[in-house]
C-alpha cells in the first residue's frame, strides 16, 4: 500500500500500463530532495524507452464530489481518472514552476487553472473549462509563447498518481463513517430514542466501572447500585442490580405498571412525575 507521510517522497518505477500501474511504490528519503512541502512526490513515468521524472508539491489534496468528473479518453490515453475538486499543487511546466488548481463550477463544469509568478512577482494565470490539457496548452501559448508545445493534462495535474487517489478515497470513507456515527443532541430525539441512548450509556458505564474496580482490586467487594445524572435538565437515575435484585426490580416495575393502569395514570403524567422525582422508575 502507499502511505502519504509528511516526510516521504514516492518514486513509482513501474511502467505506465494498466496491469501494473502504480502498484509498486518505492519510498525514498527526502534528505536528498529540495522539496519541503508536505506530500512531496517524485513520480517516474516510463513511456516507451523514455523515463520522465516529475516532481509535485501537493498543497491541497482536494476531494471527489458527488458529481465527480473523469479525464477524457484520447488515442494516446485510454485510461480515465477521477478529477478532484479544490485540488492545488505545484510542479514544473516547460521549465517553469507553476501552480495547478481545479474547481467545480456551479454548472458542474470543471475549471482548470495554471498560474506562475513572473520575474516582477506578478501572477500570470490561464484557465480552461474544457480540459486540463487545454489549460496547459493555453499556458504555453499565452504565457510562454510556445504554441506548438502539447501538454498532457493528466500528467500535469497528477490525476494518474494512485496514492493521491487512494488518500482521497480513504478520507471519503472515514468522513462517511464519522457522519453515520454522529448523534443528534439528546433533546432533539424522540423519547424512545432517548431511552435507547440512556440504556446504552448505562451499559457502557457499568462495563467501564467494572474494569476500574478490577484495576483497584475491588471487583469482589464493590457493587454498583445506582448512578444519578442530569441530562438536558432531566433527572435520570440508573439502577444496577445483580441476578437476585433483578427479580425484585422486575416485580417492582410490574407493580408500578399495574398501579398506573388501575388508577388511569397516563404515560405522559407518569413521565412528568418521574421528571420531578428521579427515584421513580422510568
Q: Which of 150, 180, 210 is the last residue of a domain?
A: 180
CB-CB contact of 205 with 238 (8 Å): yes
Q: Which residue has the higher pLDDT, 176 or 173?
A: 173
Q: Pick the last residue of a domain from 180, 204, 233.
A: 180
| Tens-place pLDDT, residues 64-89 | 888 899 998 877 777 899 999 999 98
Instruction: Count Cβ atoms below 10 Å from residue 220 Cβ, excluding itself.
Output: 8
pLDDT at 143 over 60: yes
Retrieve residue 36's grid coordinates.
519541503
Are residues 172 and 227 both part of a single domain?
A: no
Round the average pLDDT of the chain to a whole number and report it. Answer: 75
**HEC secondary structure over 153-192:** HHHHCCCCCHHHHHHHHHHHHHHHHHHHHCCCCHHHCCHH
pLDDT digits (tens, 9 = 90+) for 206-262: 877 877 777 777 767 788 888 888 888 888 888 887 655 556 666 777 777 777 777
- CA 157 – CA 88 distance, rounded (Å): 9
pTM greater than 0.75: no
How many domains does the chain contain in total?
2
Least confident of 49-53, 106-110, 230-234, 268-272: 268-272
Q: Which domain holds residue 203?
A: 186-276
Amino acid at each position: 500500500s502507499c502511505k502519504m507521510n509528511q516526510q516521504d517522497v514516492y518514486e513509482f518505477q513501474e511502467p505506465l500500463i494498466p496491469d501494473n500501474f502504480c502498484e509498486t511504490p518505492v519510498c525514498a528519503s527526502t534528505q536528498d530532495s529540495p522539496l519541503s512541502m508536505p506530500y512531496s512526490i517524485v513520480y517516474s513515468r516510463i513511456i516507451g524507452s523514455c523515463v520522465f521524472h516529475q516532481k509535485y508539491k501537493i498543497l491541497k489534496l482536494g476531494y471527489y464530489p458527488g458529481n465527480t468528473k473523469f479525464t477524457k479518453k484520447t488515442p494516446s490515453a485510454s485510461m480515465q481518472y477521477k478529477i478532484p475538486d479544490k485540488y492545488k499543487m505545484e510542479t514544473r511546466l516547460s521549465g517553469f514552476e507553476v501552480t495547478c488548481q481545479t474547481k467545480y463550477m456551479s454548472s458542474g463544469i470543471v475549471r482548470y487553472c495554471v498560474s506562475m509568478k513572473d520575474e516582477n512577482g506578478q501572477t500570470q494565470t490561464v484557465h480552461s473549462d474544457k480540459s486540463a490539457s487545454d489549460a496547459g496548452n493555453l499556458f504555453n501559448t499565452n504565457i510562454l509563447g510556445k504554441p506548438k508545445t502539447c501538454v498532457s493534462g493528466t500528467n500535469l495535474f497528477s490525476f494518474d498518481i494512485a496514492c493521491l487517489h487512494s488518500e482521497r478515497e480513504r478520507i471519503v470513507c472515514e468522513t462517511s463513517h464519522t457522519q453515520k456515527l454522529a448523534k443528534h443532541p439528546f433533546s432533539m430525539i424522540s423519547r424512545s430514542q432517548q431511552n435507547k441512548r440512556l440504556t446504552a450509556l448505562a451499559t457502557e458505564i457499568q462495563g467501564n466501572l467494572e474494569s476500574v474496580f478490577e484495576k483497584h482490586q475491588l471487583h469482589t467487594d464493590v457493587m454498583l447500585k445506582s448512578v444519578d445524572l442530569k441530562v438536558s435538565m432531566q433527572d435520570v437515575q440508573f439502577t444496577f442490580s445483580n441476578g437476585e435484585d433483578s427479580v425484585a426490580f422486575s416485580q417492582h416495575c410490574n407493580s408500578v405498571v399495574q398501579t398506573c393502569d388501575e388508577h388511569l395514570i397516563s404515560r405522559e403524567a407518569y413521565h412528568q412525575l418521574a421528571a420531578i422525582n428521579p427515584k421513580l422508575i422510568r
